[in-house]
Structure 1
Amino acid sequence: MQLFKTIFLFELRLLARQKFILLLIGFFFLTGIYSIYYGYHFTKKQLAAIDSLESGYQKKYKELEAGFSADTTTAAGKTLFHQAGIPSVIEYKNPLNAIHKPQSISILSIGQRDIQPYYDVITRRRNFVQGANAEISNPEMLASGNFDLAYVVIYLIPVLAIALTYNTWSKEKEQQTDKLLSLQGIYFGKIIGYKLTFRFLLIGLMVWLLSIIGFICSAALIPFDLTAAILWLMGASAYIFFWFAITFFIIRLGKSSVHSALYLLGLWCGLLILLPALCNTIVRLYYPIPLKTDAAVALRENSEAVWAMPRKLLIDTFYLNNPKYKHLREATDTSETSNKRFAAYYDLLGRRMTRSIEHYNQYPAAQNKAMSGLNWINPATKTQYLLNEIAGTGLNDYLSYQEQVNAFQKTWVDFMSGYIISDKKLSLNDLRNLSQFKLKSIKNKNQNIIGGILYLLGISFCIIFLSKKITVKI
């Protein structure tokens, strides 16, 4: 314990004298502060858009609600009163919105939120092209990303760790102080371990401080989630520990400072640039994703084909697919302006597009599954996925949201079709009790995150164990 205390005091004094190292640490800290500002600004912008959507919906909702008590002594009032409760009018004037709100600490890891749609309009045109301008297989492959705190932790903190530790042993060897310590009976390996521990705690405290600042900033926008914060700190700490385990392994090889620095920088390039790019290329080669323009073309073609169907055939198909409405069948169903004809059109178009979208979705699902499998060979990529999952901004979060939107749209279609087919209006009470979209969390998400953190720790301890097997000659 006395040696441990002595090493720590010595490292603190040495750090205070090294102005360049202090400037380097300050630079990385300010970089982390900027990344928090970037994530805060991005999330605030999305929240402003969401607030605008919700306020617009509430404004239109009050107008629809006022229609039930409109003044029928005026022409405008008569029109509003007549339209009050008509399903198609309600859906046209004020459609529901399914919103994927930012989660507790999403400002720290933007993930997929910059390219994936975070809201969808709920209408009877269900299961059509969601977010047609979004590319579903984005920067999770560590090719690039937003300058958020996750980026700083994944990419930049390892560089700082390398800068602080690459010559921990070689410097002592080059100055020949290792021999002096050995002659005095002090186990040199223990000293190196203490020196690395000091640097690990230094960087870890900096990352924790940045994370806590991020939590405080995030709490100003989004309700704070203690579980997510703890998992974030655990994940970031495990990743830093992984890089110190690699550093310890390189140090135990006994190479010069230059060689150690080159080896560590080579590993950084390999784990953060080359390997992710290679995995990304392999996955895209074997699991290509078709263009979303194909789905848009399918929508146009199916829309034209369904509308061009003979009316009787269209109505017959509708009742065949929806036998619960057979008792409402009438001879006027095939008329030009029949509500049932429009309901039959949307129903059949939705069924056809469901098959098209399901066919399309199997490609990104297969790609995501393949990438998840390859993550286990690269702790850096695995950490990126972990931090995105903790922040609720990963691809799995988006796919879960999209699946829930499609399910909710189907429920909405069935609800509105019941009124349209029966030629009924919604009452004021029905309007007030319209179902709203509520996003559910992914099952076993935290368990999977903890499993990923344990994987990082396991890899790190294995590297340390192998390092111990290397004989250091003094």
Structure 2
Amino acid sequence: MQLLKTIFLFEFRLLARQKFILLLIGFFFLTGIYSIYYGYHFTEKQLAAIDSLESGYQKKYKEIEAAFSADTTTAEGKILFNQAGIPSVIEYKNPLIAVCKPQLISILSIGQSDLQPYYDVITRRRNFMQGSNAEISNPEMLASGNFDLAYVIIFLLPILAIALSYNTWSKEKEQQTDKLLSLQGIYLRKIISYKLVFRFLLVGLMVWLLSIIGFISSATLIPFDLSAALFWLLSTSAYLFFWFAITFFILRLGKSSVHNALYLLGLWCALLILLPALCNTVVRLYYPIPLKTGAAVALRENSEAIWAMPHKLLIDTFYLNNPKYSPLREAADTSETSNKRFAAYYDLLGRRMTQAIENYNQYPAAQNEANLCLSWFNPAIKTQYLLNGIAGTGLNDYLSYQRQVNDFQKTWVDFMTGYVISDKKLLLSDLKDLPQFKLKFLKNKYPEIAVGILYLSGISFCIIFLSRKITVKI
């Protein structure tokens, strides 16, 4: 214990005298602060857009509500009063918005939330082209990723760990202080291990400090989640532990400082650039995603085909698919202006397009599953999945949101169809009880994240165990 205290004190004093190392640490810390600001600004902008949508909806809702008590002594008031409660008018003037709000600690790991739509307009004839409301982004930015704290931790902090540790052993040999320590009976391997522990704690404390700053910043925008914060700290610590285990392994080979630096930087390039690019290429080759133009063509073709169907066949299909409305069947259902004909049109179009969209969504889901499987062979990518999962910004979270939107759209269609085919208007009390979309977060994701953390820790301990088996003459 006395040796550990002595080495930590010596390393701290040595660090205080190395201005370049202090500048390097300061640079990485400021980089982390900027990444938190970047994530905060992005999330703030997204929340502002969502608030604008919700404010617009509430404003239109009050206008629709006021139409029930409009002044019928004026021509404009008569029109508003007559239109009050008509389902198609309510849908047209104020369609429902399904929103995927930023959750947990998403400012620290933006993930897929900048690429995927975070709101959808819900009507009986929904826009089946998902992603149409996504903003246009710079392709270079989409290729490189967002400069959030997850990016800094995964890509940049390993470089700091390498810069601090690559010559921990070789420097002693090059300065020939290893012989002096050996003559004094001091176990050099233990000293090297303690030096690495000091550097691990130094970088780890910086990561924890940046993360805590991120948690505080996130809490000003999104309700704080303690579980997410704890799993974030554990995941980042396990990832740093992995890199220091790799460094320990390279140091145990007994090479020069230059060789150590080259080996470590080579591994960094392989794990963070080459392997991800190769895996991405392989996944896209075996699980290609078709163009969304196919869904657009399917929407147009189905719309035209269904509208051109014989009226009686369309109505028969509707009652066959919705037997609960059979008691409302009338001879006038097949007329050109029949509300039931329009309801039948939207019902059949929705059923056909739901199947088309489910067929399309299986491709990104297959890609995601393949990438998840391959991530077990690359701790860096696995950590990215873990951080995105903790922040609720991964592809799984988006696919879950999309499934919930599709399910809610069916609920909305069923709700409005009952009024349309009955030729009834919504009452003011009905207007207050309109179905509302409530996003449910993914359940049981923390056990999977815990398994991922154990995986990172297990690999690190295995690397350390193998390192200790390497015999090097000191």
Task: Report if TM-score (shorter chain) is over 0.5.
Answer: yes
Q: Which residue of 2 aligns with 1:162?
A: 162
Are residue 355 (structure 1) and residue 361 (structure 2) matched? no
Does the aligned pair in 2 maintain the 1:238–1:453 contact within 8 Å? Answer: yes
Does the aligned pair in 1 maintain the 2:85–2:427 contact within 8 Å? Answer: yes
Does the aligned pair in 1 maintain the 2:117–2:132 contact within 8 Å? Answer: no
SS of alignment partner, residue 377 of structure 1 = coil
The alpha-carbon deviation at position 104 of structure 1 amounts to 2.2
Does the aligned pair in 2 maintain the 1:143–1:273 contact within 8 Å? Answer: no
The alpha-carbon deviation at position 260 of structure 1 amounts to 0.3
The alpha-carbon deviation at position 385 of structure 1 amounts to 0.5
Q: Which residue of 1 aligns with 2:411?
A: 411
Does the aligned pair in 2 maintain the 1:117–1:131 contact within 8 Å? Answer: yes
Q: Which residue of 2 aligns with 1:451?
A: 451
The alpha-carbon deviation at position 472 of structure 1 amounts to 2.3
- Structure 1, unaligned stretches of length 5 or more? none
Mapped to 2, the partners of 1:254 and 1:463 lie a distance apart of 16
Mapped to 2, the partners of 1:236 and 1:300 lie a distance apart of 48
Q: Which residue of 2 aligns with 1:252?
A: 252
Q: Which residue of 1 aligns with 2:38?
A: 38
Please tell me the root mean square deviation across aligned C-alpha atoms, in Å. 1.4
Q: Which residue of 2 aligns with 1:54?
A: 54
Mapped to 1, the partners of 2:31 and 2:237 lie a distance apart of 18
**What is the number of equivalent residue pairs in this alignment?**
469
Does the aligned pair in 2 maintain the 1:165–1:199 contact within 8 Å? Answer: yes
The alpha-carbon deviation at position 143 of structure 1 amounts to 6.1
Mapped to 1, the partners of 2:92 and 2:279 lie a distance apart of 45
The alpha-carbon deviation at position 3 of structure 1 amounts to 0.3
Mapped to 2, the partners of 1:389 and 1:471 lie a distance apart of 40
CA deviation vs aligned residue, 1:375-405 (integer Å, no higher than 9, x gap): 1000000000000011110000000000000
- Structure 2, unaligned stretches of length 5 or more? none
Q: Which amino acid aligns with 2:171?
A: K
Q: How high is the TM-score relative to the length of structure 2?
A: 0.97
The alpha-carbon deviation at position 279 of structure 1 amounts to 0.6
The alpha-carbon deviation at position 86 of structure 1 amounts to 1.1
SS of alignment partner, residue 8 of structure 1 = helix
Does the aligned pair in 2 maintain the 1:154–1:384 contact within 8 Å? Answer: yes
Q: Which amino acid aligns with 2:343?
A: A
Alignment of structure 1 residues 29-178 onto 2, 5 Å: 29-126=29-126, 128-132=128-132, 144-178=144-178
SS of alignment partner, residue 121 of structure 1 = strand
Q: Which residue of 2 aligns with 1:384?
A: 384
Does the aligned pair in 1 maintain the 2:170–2:254 contact within 8 Å? Answer: yes
The alpha-carbon deviation at position 133 of structure 1 amounts to 7.1
Change (3 A) 1:83 1:240: same
Change (3 A) 1:424 1:455: same
The alpha-carbon deviation at position 134 of structure 1 amounts to 6.1
The alpha-carbon deviation at position 450 of structure 1 amounts to 1.0
Q: Which amino acid aligns with 1:224?
A: F
SS of alignment partner, residue 397 of structure 2 = helix
Identity rate of aligned residues, in percent?
Answer: 84
CA deviation vs aligned residue, 1:143-168 (integer Å, no higher than 9, x gap): 63100000000000000000000000
Q: Which amino acid aligns with 1:155?
A: F
Does the aligned pair in 2 maintain the 1:127–1:409 contact within 8 Å? Answer: no
Alignment of structure 1 residues 5-44 onto 2, 5 Å: 5-44=5-44
The alpha-carbon deviation at position 235 of structure 1 amounts to 0.7
Does the aligned pair in 2 maintain the 1:25–1:160 contact within 8 Å? Answer: yes
Q: How high is the TM-score relative to the length of structure 1?
A: 0.97
Mapped to 1, the partners of 2:396 and 2:153 lie a distance apart of 21
**Deviating 4+ runs (over 2 angstroms):** 132-135
Mapped to 1, the partners of 2:54 and 2:387 lie a distance apart of 29
Q: Which residue of 2 aligns with 1:202?
A: 202
SS of alignment partner, residue 424 of structure 2 = coil
Q: Which residue of 1 aligns with 2:329?
A: 329
Alignment of structure 1 residues 235-274 onto 2, 5 Å: 235-274=235-274
Mapped to 2, the partners of 1:232 and 1:251 lie a distance apart of 29
The alpha-carbon deviation at position 126 of structure 1 amounts to 4.2
Q: Which residue of 2 aligns with 1:344?
A: 344
Mapped to 2, the partners of 1:213 and 1:151 lie a distance apart of 16
Does the aligned pair in 2 maintain the 1:143–1:276 contact within 8 Å? Answer: no
Does the aligned pair in 2 maintain the 1:127–1:406 contact within 8 Å? Answer: no
Q: Which residue of 2 aligns with 1:396?
A: 396
Mapped to 1, the partners of 2:373 and 2:56 lie a distance apart of 43
Q: Which amino acid aligns with 1:293?
A: T
Q: Which amino acid aligns with 1:238?
A: A
